[in-house]
A and B are shown apart, each in its own frame.
Chain A
Amino acid sequence: MDNQIIQNPVTGYLNFISYAALAILKEILAESARSGKSVEELLDAAMIQTNTNADQAAALLARLKGE
């Protein structure tokens, strides 16, 4: 069920604001890391992250289907 945890609406909004703030901070840090790289380095970094994503997604799907 999607509604197993009942939250106060204010807590929900606070959580969302915290999530958004952290996401923006993470994005700013990621952008500053990207700015000094060449095209080749950027594509290499993207490929490494893509491989990591594939591994994490496979593990997640295995967990969800196996439970």
Chain B
Amino acid sequence: MQKIISILGVISSVTFAVAPQFTSLQPKTAAWLVLIGTTVTSASGALMKFGEDNKVITAIGVAVAVMTVLAGAADLLPANAVFILTVAGTALAAVGKSLFNFSSSDDNFPGNGGKGFIILLMLVAGVGSLTACEKDKEYAKTLDRVSGYVNAGIQIVDRQTGTGEMSKETGIVITTSLVQINELNRQLITVSQSYISKNGQRLELTGDGKTKILSILVSSRTIANELVNNPVFKAIPDAKRRQYTILIDDLVGTIASITELVTVAKEVKK
């Protein structure tokens, strides 16, 4: 049972560490979920076996993972560094306890326990290479996400105005904002398409391209903020406004992440 819980803990840590790269899960949320996974991992074996073999390695591993996640949640470390250190910490914690059946007698790497350790290293290396996926692709994915959010917003307005849950006036205000954001997203896509590399795998942004994109992003953020502060929007009852609030939070978070990606993008001189 201890071994099963350990494996589940490691799997959940690694899964949630990778999740922000492939889902809309916020990095901070993922960091906390990784922390839970790490805690489960350590609790399953380390707490039961503390005082026995490898306690120093276990303690260091748990400490590294926990401190890294906390630092990541407080924005003290970049996301990639949080990922690498967290998985490393979890791995150390796992190695230090019973997950791979390490004990003082078979610690001679690569002995019996070495197999498990190598598998874990391969897992970490594989997952790490996925997280290092190109920023350009993440940027393009994000533009696609924005178009999805806008569509979700249109569907909600359509449904709520259709059932009479929302007034026509409110629907017009929200839809008009969505149209503006959709138009700005179209401009972002159009500008970005002109910087696609020949093989279609990368964006080759020039300084001019970065300036154009950042300026469009500022406008998008302004529109989203204006919508939130619009008196008509504020007048929507809380329960109905919640769906839009989630959507707008996603949108603003996405705009912020695009801005970050474009700001740090390496410029290409043409």
Contact = CB atoms under 8 A, between A and B. Distances in A.
Contacts of B154: 53, 56-57, 60
Interface residues of A, number: 41
B178 interface: yes
Residue among B189, B190, B196, B242 with the highest chain A CB neighbour number at 10 A: B189
A3 B172 contact: no
Interface residues of B, number: 56
Nearest to A20: B246
A7 B148 CA distance: 29
The prevalent SS among residues of B at the interface is helix
Interface in A16-46: 16, 19-20, 23, 27-28, 30-32, 34-35, 38-43, 45-46
Interface string B145-172: 1111011101001100101111110111
A23 B152 contact: yes
Interface of A: 1-5, 7, 12, 16, 19-20, 23, 27-28, 30-32, 34-35, 38-43, 45-47, 49-50, 52-54, 56-58, 60-61, 63-65, 67
Considering the complex of A and B, which 6 residue pairs feature the smallest CB-CB distances, nearest first?
A: A40-B200, A42-B140, A49-B147, A46-B144, A4-B164, A46-B143
